[in-house]
Amino acid sequence: MLVSTLDRFQYRRGGDKVFMSNVSCLVIDEFDTFLDSGTEKDIRSLIEQFLGTSERQGVKKQLVLSTATVTSRMDGILKDYFSEDSDFKQLIEKKTHQNLSHLKHEFIQLADFDKVKPLKMLVKEFRAYASKNKTSAVIFCNSVQSARAIEHALAEEGEKTACLHGEIPPRMRQRNFERFKDRKADILVATDLASRGLDFPFVSHILNFDFPKSTSDYLHRAGRAGRAGREGYVLSLVRDKDEPIFAEMRTAHDNKEPLKIKGSAYSLKNKEHIIADRKRAGLPVSIGSTQASTQTKLGPGSKHVGSQLAPLEAPPESRTFKEFRDEKSSASLKLKKEKERVLRMPSKPRGPKQTFESARKQNARAAAAARYEQF
């Protein structure tokens, strides 16, 4: 059995260190998170490699896709690969996209701008509960700056905290994770980086200092508390700007309907390198967004917004990726040749009567003349 992250697995496959010919079962956990984080192309490649080996060898293989939410992007992959497969089964739990019923959800609507004081009151309530039940809490923020500020504010109150976000170096992030897991810290302050894949059975309280930017993020955050049917609480601070998502959740709860899952705000969290690479390559930044539905609402010349964090920029139609790459290579080659030409230029010898001061003045006059010619 091999357990691996997607990046490391792809790296080893590219180096001919891992082969899939003898693999009979492939499990992709957190399938929705992979698609949200901009790895749809890699996931498709992995599925094609796995299914391709079964066709060549005539071996029956099993593919299991595990996910907490079902999105339109996921439906597209299932339709492309399994629409005509009679053996494909899609099992969806009845309460999918609904708030977990064993958790108590509370929403505190704020009129004041300051959210730190209400948060400290919620922490005191958690303390009273934790002293009897020996549990921990996770505080979620929407930005790294917010997470840093809250951790500092709680540390000043004497709370034992740990922090988890994308700008913390990996080794320090691992130490913080171990501190919280070993119960040396009672409160974990984190961005949505900690809303998926982490299983802490001792977490009883989720405190949303910043209200999540999508219903999907709310469900994933809430899922960190009350694991395996345990008692749990989700307490959220809500402002006027959060009303659209809050109203959608309230309506779904009152009508006992599942939430409509859209693009997740997690899509571009800590994915700045993916955004930069795609922009440099002239490719669209459509990570976690529903591009087709959004473009129908925008007129010609409008700017498509892939998410609330980064815009989507369509590639120019006048050139292909190959042309873009060739242009970059040509510019780099020209710069290299210019540097070599400058290095080969012979230096002009200085006359015996020319002092350092006179040379400095001469260079200054030459620079001034060059600036004058530019204008």
Work out the percent of the chain whose per-residue pLDDT is above 70. 70
Q: Is the pLDDT of residue 80 over 70?
A: yes
The one-character DSSP state at 64 is: E
**Tokens representing residue 72 in the block:** 């339109």
**Tens-place pLDDT, residues 159-173:** 999 999 988 998 999
**Tokens representing residue 7 in the block:** 């990046």
* Model pLDDT, residue 364: 74
Q: Is the pLDDT of residue 356 over 90?
A: no
* Model pLDDT, residue 92: 72
* Model pLDDT, residue 216: 81
Multiple choice CATH, 103-254, 3.30.310.50, 3.40.50.300, 3.40.50.2300, 3.30.70.260: 3.40.50.300
CA-nearest of 100, 95, 164 to 136 is: 164
* Model pLDDT, residue 294: 32
DSSP secondary structure letters along 212-244: PSSHHHHHHHHTTSSGGG--EEEEEEE-GGGHH
**Tens-place pLDDT, residues 143-158:** 999 999 999 999 999 9
* Model pLDDT, residue 357: 61
Contact 237, 108 (CB under 8 A): yes
**Tens-place pLDDT, residues 25-72:** 999 988 887 887 778 888 888 888 888 776 666 667 888 998 877 777
| Rounded average pLDDT over 188-193 | 92
* Model pLDDT, residue 136: 95
**Tokens representing residue 56 in the block:** 């060549």
Work out the percent of the chain whose per-residue pLDDT is above 90. 26
* Model pLDDT, residue 270: 46
* Model pLDDT, residue 325: 61
Q: Which residue has the higher pLDDT, 88 or 178?
A: 178
**pLDDT band at residue 303 under the 50/70/90 scheme:** very low
Asked if the domains at 6-82 and 103-254 fall in one CATH topology, the answer is yes
Q: Is the pLDDT of residue 19 over 50?
A: yes
* Model pLDDT, residue 56: 63
Chain-wide mean pLDDT for the chain? 76
Specify the residue for token string 């309907």: 257
Q: Where are the domains of the chain?
A: 6-82, 103-254
* Model pLDDT, residue 146: 93
Give the span between the Cα atoms of 10 and 15, in whole angstroms. Answer: 9
Give, in order, the Cα–Cα distances in Å from 75 to each of 79, 97, 110.
6, 15, 38
Three-class DSSP category at 92: coil
The one-character DSSP state at 313 is: -
Q: Which of 33-47, 232-246, 254-268 reaches the highest mean pLDDT?
A: 232-246
Q: Is the pLDDT of residue 187 over 90?
A: yes
Q: Is the pLDDT of residue 78 over 60?
A: yes
Q: Is the pLDDT of residue 142 over 80?
A: yes
- Superfamily name and number for 6-82: P-loop containing nucleotide triphosphate hydrolases (3.40.50.300)
Q: Which residue has the higher pLDDT, 128 or 268?
A: 128
* Model pLDDT, residue 307: 31
Q: Is the pLDDT of residue 326 over 90?
A: no
**pLDDT band at residue 318 under the 50/70/90 scheme:** very low
Q: Is the pLDDT of residue 285 over 80?
A: no
Q: Is the pLDDT of residue 289 over 50?
A: no
* Model pLDDT, residue 164: 93
* Model pLDDT, residue 371: 61
